[in-house]
A and B are shown apart, each in its own frame.
Chain A
Amino acid sequence: MRTVSWIAIVIVSAVAGAALWVHLPVSAQEESYTAPRTADGAPDLNGIWQALNTAHYDIQAHPARPALAIIPASPRSDTPGLVRATHVELPAPVVRPFGAVGGVPAGAGVVEGDEIPYQPWALAKKKENADHWLERDPEIKCFMPGVPRATYMPYPFQILQGTDKILIAYEFAGATRTIHMNTVGDSPSPTWMGWSRGRWDGNTLVVEVTDFNEDTWFDRAGNFHSDALHVIERYTPVSPHHLMYEVTIEDPKVFTRPWKMRMPLYRRFDRDAQIREYKCVEFVEQLMYGHLGVVDPATGTINK
């Protein structure tokens, strides 16, 4: 009996604790937790981290849907009682064989207020991007994912804190960012992963990222930016096993005002957790170049 009541107490406290965790304002949590320090005295963010959400599909709130690429169902016949059936989306033919594996789970989104303040032309372009997702999403071609998209893709990344540089090693496409914690000159050119300058603000690693090209996206829903993108990231340890990731997006060419995203990042504990190779260049060569050669390696077809 004693054991049972102990378990009950533990469960009740855990549930209450979890509830408290969820409902406390995050700023209070941030204040209540002090991250361990590295030997240099900086907050210790070293580790392998990963987002666990659906922002990689769509950073805004979205219902579940049957596939990443969808087509509308054909109009119903005039059968009485059926013509007003709810609009239905179907998987596009090219992704249909994936069945339930290819579905998109619902998510509450990570955008503050769930509104991305696009300029009117840009909102139209976002919708067009979504409609042409298969042809346009740079992730499909294994291009470097940009920032902040790299953070919440469904792959882990590792923070490696050196003396005056912090590296973030992303698994996807083997992309790496160097965050300069010392003073450096300007980037000589626009880049895919940006030019990152970091500083400490209490427990928080603040990174200003500039010098982007206009070729990366925010998600698989067609959300995009221009080469005027300016990203401010905040990585705050909120428990030994969580970072709170907050990011401010500024891009006066595309948006009417700055906007924010926020999500927890989770420490990977798995046995022998490490960043593996995901050299997807070789995974997309067939897609990008298969039809261009004398021989198509997938079919053995001789192209004329």
Chain B
Amino acid sequence: MQHRSFVLLGAVAIGGAIAVPACYAPPSANAPSTTIGRTAWGDPDLQGVWRYEGAIPLERPGQLGDRATLTEQEVAQRQALEKEQAEKRLEGYEGAAVGRRSVGESPIRGNEYNSFWQDHGRPRQISNRTSLIVDPPDGKLPFTADAKKAEARSAARYGVGPFESYLDPDTGERCLTDGVTGMMWQGPNGGHNRIVQSPGYVTILHEEYRDRRVIPVDARSHGSIRQWFGDAIGRWEGDTLVVDTTNFVDRTNYEWANIWTRPSESLHLVERFKRVDATTIEYTITVEDPTTFARPWTAVIPITKLPDDTQIYEYACHEGNYAMPNLLGGGRTDAARTSSR
């Protein structure tokens, strides 16, 4: 559908801004914690509805150079700006009118595009970190030269066309998926994820596209079947859930180099879920994909637990995809105009 964008959302509920304290510190040793809740069978309890509510962008904005952290003054400025923007959103302003002036100020990118899809309300959490990416140290995605060109070609085509057949829109517009890599921390309609644990399984239900991962947590070996969401195998390392995923399939007709929308078949994704306090999972992704990236990269993303009564609602995208016939109809009209000129 047309609303797909890499956008972080405001929240359903309204609350005060909560600063994420201090700069990022590497995860400590996997010593069993006594402070986190446990399931009845003794695993760390990750259950609930979770979302990334931070304002840290994936990549470090260029003007920040090699600075991994912001000054106290800069943090205070951003908190004030966030509060102001949140108030404007509540008053009904959208997109650029909210005052988020540049892609650099958006958590991912393109926060102005179709912002009416976002559920506004709660200010995002401001932190002194300058990028979610902690490795490489420059906070940038280490695209290969070819991948950078492909990404540019896709960015030029996205939302522009041509849309000659149903294969031409990207996977989100086709109501297929926006992919696994960004599932925990992206999503145009809230980025909500419900985690449910049962013995031997961790299941993640993501609201958008009703994406679902049933992850066996028994350290079995990978099978041979390729899937959109790959083949995910979990294991516990101390109190950290480690999910290793390979066997992705790439059936998109798009050249995105960002591997969350277009999982390359050589992608190897390792995710770590570590519950650090009652309301936070420190979610770490390490992405290895030699066809897209010159080296592996790692991002550390604080994920927030939403109130207990937060629900994941049904996302009937394909069932109501009026956009697809309209997009193709528009494509034909464009083609007819071009040929009659």
Contacts and interface: CB of A to CB of B under 8 A. Distances in A.
Interface of A: 38-40, 46, 142-144, 158, 160-163, 165-167, 169, 174-176, 178, 184-185, 188-189, 191-193, 215, 272, 274-277, 279, 281-282, 285-286, 288-290, 292-297, 303-304
B223 interface: yes
B167 A292 contact: no
A292 B325 contact: yes
A169 B215 CA distance: 12
A158 B166 contact: no
B314 A294 contact: no
Interface stretch (B23-31, B104-112, B169-177, B282-290): B169-177
A277 B316 CA distance: 17
A191 B335 CA distance: 38
B205 A167 contact: yes
Interface stretch (B85-93, B141-149, B192-200): B192-200
Contacts of B47: 162-163, 165
Interface residues on B, range: 35 or more
Contacts of A176: 205, 210, 212
Interface in B217-262: 220, 223, 225, 227-229, 251
Identify which of B176, B212, B331 gathers the most chain A CB atoms within 10 Å of its CB: B212
28 contacts: A39-B199, A142-B318, A144-B316, A161-B198, A162-B198, A166-B196, A174-B212, A176-B205, A176-B212, A178-B205, A178-B312, A188-B313, A191-B314, A191-B316, A215-B319, A277-B228, A281-B174, A281-B318, A285-B174, A289-B328, A292-B332, A293-B168, A293-B332, A294-B165, A294-B332, A295-B164, A297-B165, A297-B166
B99 interface: no
Given A281-B175, A293-B166, A296-B165, A192 B39 contact: no
Chain A at the B interface: SS class = loop
Contact of A163 (B39, B176, B177, B203): B39
Given A274-B216, A277-B228, A277-B229, A290 B332 contact: no
B45 interface: yes
B52 interface: no
Contacts of B165: 289-290, 293-297
Contacts of A292: 166, 324-325, 328-329, 332
Contact of A38 (B163, B199, B203, B251): B199
Contacts of B220: 272
Given A165-B196, A292-B329, A184 B335 contact: no
A277 B324 contact: no
B314 A165 contact: no
A294 B164 contact: yes
B279 interface: no
Which residue, B205, B211, B220, has most C-beta atoms of chain A within 10 A?
A: B205
B228 to A, nearest CB: 6
Nearest to A41: B40
A272 B228 CA distance: 19
B182 interface: no
Contacts of A175: 210
Contacts of A303: 332
Contacts of A158: 214
A169 B228 CA distance: 17
B214 A274 contact: yes
B176 A167 contact: no
**Residue of A142, A285, A303 with most partner-chain B CB within 10 A:** A285
Counting chain B CB atoms within 10 Å of each CB, the highest count among A167, A276, A304 belongs to A167
A289 B227 contact: no
Given A40-B40, A289-B324, A294-B331, 19 more contacts: A38-B199, A46-B199, A160-B196, A162-B47, A163-B39, A174-B210, A174-B212, A184-B311, A188-B313, A192-B319, A276-B225, A276-B227, A282-B176, A288-B166, A289-B165, A289-B166, A292-B325, A293-B332, A297-B165
Nearest to A275: B214
Identify which of A39, A292, A296, A303 gathers the most chain B CB atoms within 10 Å of its CB.
Answer: A292
A293 B210 contact: no
Contact of B309 (A46, A185, A297): A185
A304 B339 CA distance: 10
A36 B179 CA distance: 37
A112 B314 CA distance: 31
Interface centre among B39, B163, B167, B168 (most CB of A within 10 A): B167
Contacts of A166: 196
A192 B163 CA distance: 29
